[in-house]
Amino acid sequence: MAQLFFKYGAMNSGKTIEILKVAHNYEEQDKPVVILTSGLDTREGVGYVASRIGLKREATPIFHETDVFKLVNELKEKPYCVLIDEAQFLEKHHVLALAQIVDELNIPVMAFGLKNDFRNELFEGSKYLFLYADKIEELKTICWFCHKKATMNLHFIDGVPTYSGEQIQIGGNESYYPVCRHHYLHPEDKMKEGKE
């Protein structure tokens, strides 16, 4: 029985590596998969998933107007699994389409993304995946500044932590750090340490 999975984690928790690993495992057994990603993520170019360790692969981009159910349903070869990167950028209608793929086409869907933005608010895609997913799993990583589990994403602009602005601001290690709650709320503690 197919299910809708949501695997979430802070920045640097290995979400994209996990997608590439799952795709490899299916394809090694001659079981085709479909890899989708948000068209908003342009760090490696539109239509690519890329991990921080250098692995990169083409993917079909999802835009506001993309009918994800139709896209998958009209494929000549039925995939064994649908994999989605940057799922936090999905909209409600995309998440409902993923549930429809699972329920009507009996194809498992694995969506990977951030839970919360740098303002510590849920993304739309994450919110609806939490509501509609059959299984939810946290991918863990450690805080950039200490040994605790990272649960939040701290955004820096010109070396200064920021907590306001547009929700979607594409960036990587140069502007976002995975952090624990303490260092999200008090990044100056670590910054002071560095100056002593």
* 86 classed as catalytic: yes
Q: Residue 149 gets which letter from DSSP?
A: B
Report d(CA 117, CA 176) in Å as an integer. 10
Q: Is 44 helix (H, G, I), strand (E, B) or coil?
A: coil
CA-closest candidate to residue 146, choices 195, 196, 181: 181
Bridge partner list, 152? 179
Report d(CA 33, CA 17) in Å as an integer. 15
Q: Would you mind telling me the total number of residues written for the chain in this entry?
A: 196
Q: Which one from 27, 74, 86, 104 is the annotated catalytic residue?
A: 86
Angle at 41 between CA 86 and CA 136, to 5 degrees: 5
Q: Residue 68 gets which letter from DSSP?
A: H
Residues with catalytic function: 86
